[in-house]
Amino acid sequence: MDFSLREVHYFVTCVQTGSFTAAAARLYVSQAAVSRTIASLERTAGRPLLRRVPTGCVPTQAGAELLGAAQSLLAEARDFSNLLHGEARTLRLGYAWAALGRRTIALQRRWAEDHAGVQLELIRNNTPTAGLAEGLCEVAVLRRLRPEDGFASTVVGIEQRLAAFASDDATWARRRSLRMAEIGARTVAVDTRGGTTDRSLFDARHAPEHWVETMDVDSWLDLISTGRAVGTTAESTAHHHQRHGIRYLPISDGPPIEVSLAWRRGRAPAGLQELIDLVRDLYGYTPGVRD
């Protein structure tokens, strides 16, 4: 190879931290060392991979195209190192919002009991593919599948759709469930990257007039807790993100949410089928059978 893993590592770290200075601090080297290493990788590539901006650096188009492969390469190098030294492999499971909700702890405990040779690491990544496209994980929990080339997926469970609103909301204080039309009459908060809510959920007559976009689940929760908006979400969010000031209720006519596991097509990681079987067991889900 005409590049080194160190060069790839420095490149990915620069993108993740957003600056040469922050990357140097994380890598415990000088900024000059980072600059020299990136320059060497760019000479090999024959084009710039990072562009300096007032706030630090951002990947160029070429850099963005290489980022996912670079992160996957580093993950595979870590696995190779673990195997070389007789250490357990790591299966990184990405999620954007809520992993498996109340089933998450059971997943971690049962996996640790039955799969000593492969460690399961859960990583939260608020991207459309929960870090899969970026190479941050080998498998991802997805509740909103998009047509992504290179990814395979399978449904592992079904979750109920819930409404989220401020707990001091007087109008809904005594309710035990809500309907989609009632949600549509309010301002609705959505996370367009990792959330499960969009206009297609609503009947045309009851589609919300006002939408507020948020960046991730934390900003979504902040907005809802103040009463500025309401939201719809999967049941796992209620278990994973219990917060003072927010109440969750079932939506009686809310479309159910499919929970899927996704991975790169042709690159199924070790332990994938065991993970699929375990998650399906936790959900009580059988392919082709719906409640």
pLDDT score of 76: 79
Q: pLDDT exceeding 90 applies to what percent of the chain? A: 62
Between CA 235 and CA 251 the distance in angstroms is 10
Between CA 222 and CA 219 the distance in angstroms is 5
For residues 146-172, give the mean pLDDT: 90
- 76's CB contacts (< 8 A; 6+ apart) are none
267, two tokens: 């690159």
Give the pLDDT confidence of 184-205 residue by residue, as tens digits: 999 999 998 788 898 888 988 8
pLDDT score of 102: 94
Between CA 143 and CA 27 the distance in angstroms is 35
Residues, the chain, total?
A: 291
- For residue 216, pLDDT over 90 is answered with no
The contacts found for 44-53 with CB under 8 angstroms, 24 or more apart, are 44/2, 44/3, 44/7, 49/11, 50/11, 50/14, 50/15
Question: Is residue 20 a contact partner of residue 57, using CB atoms and an 8 Å limit?
Answer: yes
For residues 122-150, give the mean pLDDT: 83
Query: What is the β-pairing status of strands 211-213 and 188-190?
Result: parallel
Question: Is residue 162 a contact partner of residue 234, using CB atoms and an 8 Å limit?
Answer: yes
Give the pLDDT confidence of 77-125 residue by residue, as tens digits: 877 776 676 666 788 999 998 999 999 999 999 999 998 788 899 999 8
Q: pLDDT exceeding 70 applies to what percent of the chain? A: 95
pLDDT score of 291: 40
Q: What are phi and psi of 136, to 5 degrees?
A: -85, -10
137, two tokens: 């994980």
Question: Pick from 206, 153, 139, 214: which is nearest to 179 by CA?
Answer: 206
Q: For the chain, what is the mean pLDDT?
A: 89
- 284's CB contacts (< 8 A; 6+ apart) are 157
For residues 148-175, give the mean pLDDT: 92
